[in-house]
Structure formats: structure tokens, C-alpha cells
A and B are shown apart, each in its own frame.
Chain A
């Protein structure tokens, strides 16, 4: 498995789907581990009843059907697919609505979905997903990108409430790819994925949704900055290491 994870770190993020399916066929007995540890771009499906798109993931899947967070039904239809309890469904509905507004404010487009289900011992797990296509043919407002995608998966484990506080553990993954293309500067593609974790004990006075939302917002901000300054910055540094710019060209250093 260590070798498999190393391979996933080395192969280009653009090829991660092919790489994962290759690994799954070579290591069928590790498929559960591979599927849970490797990040793949998100897929979207249409809720045929409400005509709204929703995101597919392991957490809303049963057999080959996926549950829509809008209508709470499985597509393709499934007779007795598992559903969240009424209380959790209520939280799920509100989470989806609020997250839609959040998504629109930060992403100006894209699709989002939230899935919540029971864990053991009065805990629950919530999964917040966002898929944004920023290419100029998608939702890219400014038209800079030939191709661009941002996929975010946030999984929060929420522990039982004890004395007014609860424990929240967030694992976030962002996968992104952007390509600009024009005649004079050729093709420029940056792609990557990063995964981080964050844990907090928070008062439940303002509700779970508020706590989870703030953690996700903070985490996304950090990941975006990391991607921009550290990761892209490092590849930029590398280009300058390979071919140091002549003194005439000004190098604007990334702000820290």
C-alpha cells in the first residue's frame, strides 16, 4: 500500500483516475483502502425529480445508485436504499441550503452537496462537497481558463454533545487543475491535490452547522493560500532554478 500511495503522489494529478483504476486492478484486495485514501475528481448526476445536479461520492452511494440531497431519493431508483434519520435529514436540508449560498459567494457557480448520516454513539458524519468548473465554457466568469476545475471534499466527524461542547474533526481534500492556452505563450497547466486535517472542540450554542461551516471556510482559505503561495510558488521557483532569469526581467516575489 505504501508503494501504491507513493505512486499516486508521483504520477501527474491529471492522470490520477487512470492511475487509481490501474492500482485497483493490480491490488484488488486493497480496494477499500485505495478508494478511501486516494482522491479522484468528483462526478455529478442529475436529480431527475427536481432537475437539480448533485455530487456523487462514496457517502451517498448504495450499490450503483446515488442519493440526491435535494429529493432524498436514489437515482437510478432503489427500493430500500439507506436514508438518514428524520433529525439528521432536517440538518442535511438546512446544510445544503446554506452551503449553496456559501458556494455561490465564493465560487460564483459550481455545484455543491452535503450528506449527513449517523455514526455510532450519537455521533454523525457530514460530507460537504463542491465541484467548480472554471473554464471559459463552464462557470469561469472572467474567461481566463481554457480548462479549470476545483473539487473540494470536506468530511467532518462530529462527536456526541458533552456539557455543551462537541468534538469536530475535519479532513479536507482539494483537487485542482488549471490550464491557460494561447498562441504566444503556449500551454500552461498547473494541477495538484492537497489534503489537510483540523480538529476543534466547540460550544454547540450556535449549532452544528455554524461550527462546521466556519471550520470549512477556514480550511478552504488555508488550502487556497497554500496552493497559491506554497505549491504554485514552489513550481515557479523551480522554473527559475532551471533557468535563472536575466537581470533585466523583474521577478515579483510571492507575498507571504
Chain B
């Protein structure tokens, strides 16, 4: 961080230092709140040039980290902004519709789409596995997440012509909910205008959340089995008259046998469903335990005596004072 200066006059930060700070705020904005954070940062910086420099670098990182889903202009669905589908800084591949979307990271919109070239697509052999898994997973996501979006990418071995080769698929699932913002739809990051956001925070329900899971699926042909690794991340932010955030994550592993595309898809989806359901249950268990156990380690609801503290009883104080000295409490 920039130093504060030791003398009476605080040292003026260099443009580069200011940009680094701006980038830090943008990159650390909670999911779905980056436009609000951007507005604040811009106003504090008071220098659009530095802001734009920082935004150009920070927005793509934030968008990819949070699997931003952007609507494609030809209404063919959403494209996920993910490292897996990144062709270059502003172009992202959507495997389901075999298109490449051009995006504006800072405005968080998809500007154009074009069909993907042959060399950008996986081979028919791979596509068979990918698309059946995608179909099965999409069905699961549709049933489970009210506002979920998912995509399946081939991240390695996409040109394999037939059996005998290893390849890897990756799937990303994202479900987000933003309540209290001007455009309260979770998928429509498109057209989110920071200027129309609320200025007052009193009395407006501020509650945002995101569920994100990324599954890496390695098909090992010679061993005829499939290794599955998952990373689930859940975040929630409630900030009406306060600021409370939940940050939970889990990494898990599983495996199944290498089968036909259809059977593999069903098998893999079942595994995903199983782990994600279990995770939800364990989150719930954490919350249930909270008031009686974990929270108690911080502060009890009442003293062991089950009565309020006897402030007015000074005799008791002298007594307790002696006891505390005796017992060496109050170190």
C-alpha cells in the first residue's frame, strides 16, 4: 500500500499508486456490486483517466472470477465469462451455441457474436461427450437453481478424433441473486447503469448472493475412468445498517468409470448433484449450530448464572474482585 508520509503534509500518491488502489477495490468488490464500487472509486479518485486505466484491468479479472453471464445480442442465450472460454481479452467462446461473443468488460455487456471457426470447436468425438454432459447438466441446473446458468467446456484434448485419447472437460455453474439494486434481475448484468443505482441506503433491503461451482472432469482413456474435482463457492452480503458477509467454499473429489457419452453424462451429473446437495446440507448445519455452539465461543448470551450482571451490587464487586484476584482471572 502507498505510504502515508511521515511529515505534516501527506505525500501525494503517484498515478500508478492510485490506479493500483482503484484496481484493488474493483477486484475485491462482492459479486454483482462492482458497478456500485466503480461509481464510488471513480468519485473518490476524481480522475477519469486513472479510473479508466484501473477499470480496464480490474473488470476482466472480476468478471472471470465471478463467472459473469452476459446475454448474447441475438437472443441465443447467455455466454459465461470464464477463463475456460477465453479466446483473447474481449472474446469468449460459448460452447453450447458454438459462437464467439465479443464483450465490453467495463460496461459488462456482450456487444456482438459470430459463429465459431472450425479450429475453435472441439472434434465431433469430443463434442459428443461435451454436449450430452451439457444437456444433462443444464437439466439439473434448471431444476435446482431458480436463476442458474451453466456451460461445459473442453479444456484439453479437444482435437481427439476417437477413443484412445485423454481429454478434460470443465463445467461452470453460476446462480446469483441481487435484491435491492435498480435492476434486480440476476442474469441481466447487461445495461446495469451505475447512475440509476440507489443513493440512500437507509431502508432499502441490501442483500446479494452468489453460488458458483466449477467442476473439472478428466477423462482418462487408458485407465477407463473419469476423475472429477469440484470447487464450490458461496457468497452472501447483507448490508442494511451494517455489513455482514458469508464466504464459504468447499473442494471435493470423486470418480466414475469411463462410459458412453450418455451414460457418462448421467453419471457425472449425479455426482455433481450429490456433492452439491451435501454441501447445502452442511452449510445449513453450520447455521443451525451457530447460535448454540460456535457463537458461544465468542460471547455467551448470558453468564453462567443465567441472570444479568449485577451492576448495582457493589458488595458483590468487592467479593468478586477478591475472587478474581485469587483465581488470577483478569490477567
**A-side interface residues toward B, CB under 8 Å?**
3-4, 6-15, 18-19, 21-28, 31, 52-53, 97-98, 100-102, 104-108, 132, 134, 140-145, 148-150, 176, 178, 180, 184-195, 206-207, 209-210, 213-214, 217, 220-221, 224, 226-228, 231-232, 234-239, 241-246, 249, 251-252
Contact of A104 among B33, B176, B324 (CB under 8 A): B324
Q: Is the CB of B40 within 8 A of A4?
A: yes
A102 to B243, CA, bound (A): 27
Q: Which 5 A-B pairs have the closest CB atoms?
A: A186-B250, A192-B244, A28-B10, A194-B242, A238-B209
A102 to B312, CA, bound (A): 12
Q: Is the CB of A3 within 8 A of B39?
A: yes
Q: Is the CB of B207 within 8 A of A234?
A: yes
Q: Is the CB of A178 within 8 A of B40?
A: no
A-contact bits for B137-172, CB 8 A (1 contact / 0 none): 000000011110000000000000000000000000
**B-side interface residues toward A, CB under 8 Å?**
1-4, 10, 13, 17-18, 21, 24-25, 28-30, 33, 36-37, 39-41, 43-45, 144-147, 175-177, 201, 207-211, 232, 234, 236-239, 241-251, 276-277, 279-291, 293-305, 308-309, 311-312, 317, 320-321, 324, 329-331
Q: Which residues of A contact B304 (CB under 8 A)?
A: 105
Taking A189-B248, A252-B288 as contacts, is the C-beta distance between A234 and B238 under 8 angstroms? Answer: yes
**Which of the listed residues A15, A227, A236 has the most CB atoms from chain B within 10 Å of its own CB?**
A236
Q: Which residues of A contact B308 (CB under 8 A)?
A: 217
Contact of A186 among B201, B239, B248 (CB under 8 A): B248
Q: Is the CB of B294 within 8 A of A145?
A: yes
Least distance between B171 CB and chain A CB atoms (Å): 16
Q: Is the CB of A178 within 8 A of B298?
A: yes
Q: Is the CB of A192 within 8 A of B243?
A: yes
A6-B201, A145-B297, A190-B245 are known contacts; what are 13 more A-B pairs with Cβ within 8 Å? A10-B29, A25-B21, A26-B44, A107-B298, A132-B298, A134-B298, A187-B247, A187-B249, A187-B250, A194-B244, A226-B242, A242-B176, A252-B288
Taking A18-B24, A209-B311, A213-B309 as contacts, is the C-beta distance between A238 and B236 under 8 angstroms? Answer: yes
Q: Which residues of A contact B287 (CB under 8 A)?
A: 232, 236
A19 to B25, CA, bound (A): 8
Contact of B25 among A11, A106, A239 (CB under 8 A): A11
Secondary structure dominating the interface of A: helix
Least distance between B210 CB and chain A CB atoms (Å): 7
Q: Which residues of A contact B295 (CB under 8 A)?
A: 178, 224, 228
Q: Which residues of A contact B209 (CB under 8 A)?
A: 235, 238-239, 241-242
Least distance between A119 CB and chain B CB atoms (Å): 22
Q: Is the CB of B175 within 8 A of A243?
A: yes
Taking A7-B41, A145-B294 as contacts, is the C-beta distance between A224 and B299 under 8 angstroms? Answer: yes
Q: Is the CB of A186 within 8 A of B210?
A: no
Q: Is the CB of B299 within 8 A of A107?
A: yes
A19 to B24, CA, bound (A): 9
- Enumerate 27 A-B pairs (CB-CB under 8 Å) in ascending A order: A10-B239, A13-B244, A22-B25, A97-B330, A98-B311, A104-B330, A106-B300, A145-B297, A150-B298, A150-B299, A178-B294, A188-B246, A193-B242, A193-B244, A194-B243, A194-B244, A213-B311, A214-B311, A224-B295, A227-B244, A232-B287, A234-B236, A238-B209, A242-B176, A244-B144, A245-B281, A252-B288
Q: Which residues of A contact B293 (CB under 8 A)?
A: 142, 144
Taking A22-B1, A23-B44 as contacts, is the C-beta distance between A239 and B236 under 8 angstroms? Answer: yes
A9 to B37, CA, bound (A): 10
